[in-house]
């Protein structure tokens, strides 16, 4: 039986409007034209921000790190010390959808659609909060390329508009909790080269895939050895041995093989010691193994927890650590103390039939209203 759906209000209508404007990255192996247009959504949002009394609104084109249209829309009220940041882009639609990902269906008390949870519902909630609360010394940044390359936030941080900011609320689905810290992400690839040739000579030739398999097993064990280490709320490294690539046919000895893996370290992670440990492990298997870093996102820890608790106390259920990475880490590294909060559950993000509850959208609009009111009273 279909559950009753609350009446459609502004936060629901805005979420649906945003979902219906595709901003997804292209699926793997496809050109940028196979993706959505986040810059077009930024241009759509600009008058909505201006209409809420912003002193200045800019749409900035940055492109996406992997190509295609991308950028951000930024608005300010007064001389901003607080930034509200939400990403406008989404991942490609996962396999297994039973609905049109961009139809924005309202049913069973939820909004269904790609980006409804991650994170267009948060954009809608902020727009609603701006209708209800005074915007004093505030900036809003709706930015692209979060899901793949972070080009937009890097461009913003390099601009004069980032000057003077002290604090930021970064929106991701946090299940009504506020994230004061979260894991980073490191992705690596190891490569070994051989000679390649006819498989009848395999006994006398290097076996690149076998060498990478040995390294894969060793890395997996290293990850298991770390499972009890680290902060109590973020133990272990989330070691993920992801793939071994190489070879063209069963009767051809590969001339090379590549192993890829990732870890998600907690704040306080000793990156230099880890790199040395992995390098020694690879060298013990074969000194010819080379290692490259393909992704390097540092962990995050809020530098001003007192501020985060003051502005969000009572508006969130708890203050916690998060297992997923966000662009709060980039803002914090730039000297802007950040906290992560937003409607929805991370389990819905990137999943087929993504959705967010209407109750969560309303909760977020109320919570952001509270944050804006408290900031207006004390915009330090």
Residue 296, judged by CB atoms within 10 A of its CB (0-12, 13-18, 19+), counts as exposed
Strand partners, 187: 262, 295
Classified as helix, coil or strand, 146 is coil
Exposure of 291 by Cβ count < 10 A (0-12 exposed, 13-18 middle, 19+ buried)? Answer: middle
Alpha-carbon gap, residue 172 to 330, rounded angstroms? 14
Are 348 and 354 in contact by the 8 Å Cβ rule? The answer is: yes
Burial grade of 331 (CB within 10 A; 0-12, 13-18, 19 or more): buried
Write down the catalytic residue from 38, 146, 327, 354: 146
Query: Which residue's structure tokens are 């972070």?
Result: 150
Q: Are 108 and 2 in contact (CB under 8 A)?
A: yes
Sign of CA dihedral 109, 115, 175, 353: positive
> CB neighbours of 358 closer than 8 A, spacing ≥ 6?
5, 6, 11, 12, 106, 109, 110, 111
For residue 323, give every residue at least 6 positions away whose Cβ sits within 8 Å of its Cβ, in sequence order, or none: 182, 183, 234, 238, 264, 346
Query: First vs last Cα of the chain: how many Å apart?
Result: 51
Structure tokens at 366: 């109320």
146 is catalytic: yes
Cα angle vertex 124, ends 120, 125, to 5°? 115
Residues 6+ apart with CB under 8 A from 275: none
Alpha-carbon distances, residue 40 vs 22, 156, 275, 307 (angstroms): 9, 18, 41, 35
Q: What are phi and psi for residue 303, nearest 5 degrees?
A: -90, -5
Catalytic residue list: 146
């Amino acid at each position: 039986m279909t559950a009753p759906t609350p009446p459609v209000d502004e936060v629901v209508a805005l979420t649906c409007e945003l979902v219906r404007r595709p901003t997804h990255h292209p699926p793997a192996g496809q050109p940028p034209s196979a993706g959505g247009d986040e810059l077009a959504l930024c241009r759509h949002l600009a008058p909505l921000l201006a209409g809420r009394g912003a002193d200045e609104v800019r749409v900035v084109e940055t492109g996406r790190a992997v190509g295609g249209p991308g950028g951000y829309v930024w608005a300010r009220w007064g001389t901003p010390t607080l930034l509200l940041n939400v990403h406008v882009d989404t991942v490609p639609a996962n396999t297994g959808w039973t609905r049109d990902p961009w139809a924005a269906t309202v049913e069973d008390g939820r909004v269904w659609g790609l980006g409804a949870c991650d994170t267009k519902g948060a954009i809608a909630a902020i727009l609603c909060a701006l209708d209800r609360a005074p915007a004093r010394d505030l900036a809003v940044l709706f930015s692209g390329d979060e899901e793949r390359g972070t080009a937009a936030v890097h461009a913003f941080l390099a601009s004069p508009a980032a000057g003077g900011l002290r604090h930021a609320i970064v929106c991701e689905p946090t299940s009504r909790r506020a994230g004061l810290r979260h894991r980073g992400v490191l992705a690596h690839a190891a490569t070994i080269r051989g000679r390649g040739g006819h498989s009848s000579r395999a006994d006398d030739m290097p076996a690149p895939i076998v060498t990478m398999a040995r390294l894969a097993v060793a890395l997996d064990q290293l990850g298991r050895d770390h499972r009890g280490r680290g902060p109590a709320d973020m133990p272990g490294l989330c070691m993920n041995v992801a793939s071994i690539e190489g070879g063209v046919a069963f009767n051809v000895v590969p001339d090379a093989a590549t192993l890829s893996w990732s870890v998600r370290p907690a704040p306080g992670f000793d990156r230099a010691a880890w790199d040395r440990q992995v390098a020694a492990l690879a060298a013990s298997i074969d000194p010819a193994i080379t290692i490259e870093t393909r992704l390097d996102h540092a962990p995050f820890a809020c530098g001003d927890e007192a501020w985060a608790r003051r502005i969000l106390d009572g508006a969130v259920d708890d203050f916690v650590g998060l297992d997923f990475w966000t662009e709060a880490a980039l803002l914090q590294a730039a000297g802007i103390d950040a906290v992560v909060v937003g409607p929805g559950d991370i389990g819905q993000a990137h999943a087929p039939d993504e959705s967010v509850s209407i109750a969560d959208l309303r909760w977020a609009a109320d919570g952001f209203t509270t944050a804006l009111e408290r900031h207006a009273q004390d915009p330090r």
